[in-house]
């Protein structure tokens, strides 16, 4: 298994540009989520999905959209990038939300918005 993969690893955007961060997992996990990690802060949940066709907002959803058309993929879209969205983004997945399951994290995408 490849586990959780994210692309790209690095991205530089100008303010107002749009882009999609890709996340895929090959473990047949139902639960997927997106976090952002900022210097000196912990991870903050942006959006999550408990299964194909179902998404919900996390702690910091503004400025981001998600969709879950398949179990494997959970892309994160920035419609109009802002400098405040400069961060490292992590995608994670787990089999379910049950407490018996651990989350698997992708390697991260480092985004800089100028």
Partner 1 sequence: GEDVEQSLFLSVREGDSSVINCTYTDSSSTYLYWYKQEPGAGLQLLTYIFSNMDMKQDQRLTVLLNKKDKHLSLRIADTQTGDSAIYFCAETHRDDKIIFGKGTRLHILP
Under the rule (CB under 8 A), what is the footprint of partner 1?
A: 33, 35, 37, 39, 41-45, 48, 58-59, 88, 90, 97-100, 102-105, 107-108, 110
> 10 or 16: whose CB is closer to partner 1?
10
> 17 or 37: whose CB is closer to partner 1?
37
**CB 4 within 8 Å of CB 71:** no
Encoded tokens for 34: 């997106």
Least separation, in Å, of the C-beta of 4 and partner 1?
10
Spatial distance between the Cα atoms of 57 and 47, rounded to a whole number of angstroms: 5
Least separation, in Å, of the C-beta of 103 and partner 1?
7
Spatial distance between the Cα atoms of 53 and 32, rounded to a whole number of angstroms: 12
């Amino acid at each position: 298994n490849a586990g959780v993969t994210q692309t790209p690893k690095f991205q530089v955007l100008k303010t107002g540009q749009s882009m999609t961060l890709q996340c895929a997992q090959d473990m047949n996990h139902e639960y997927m989520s997106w976090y952002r990690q900022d210097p000196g802060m912990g991870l903050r949940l942006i959006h999550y999905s408990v299964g194909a066709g179902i998404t919900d907002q996390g702690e910091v959803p503004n400025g981001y959209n998600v969709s879950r058309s398949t179990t494997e993929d959970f892309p994160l879209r920035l419609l109009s990038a802002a400098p405040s969205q400069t961060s490292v983004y992590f995608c994670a997945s787990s089999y379910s939300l049950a407490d018996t399951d651990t989350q698997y994290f992708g390697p991260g995408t480092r985004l800089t918005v100028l």
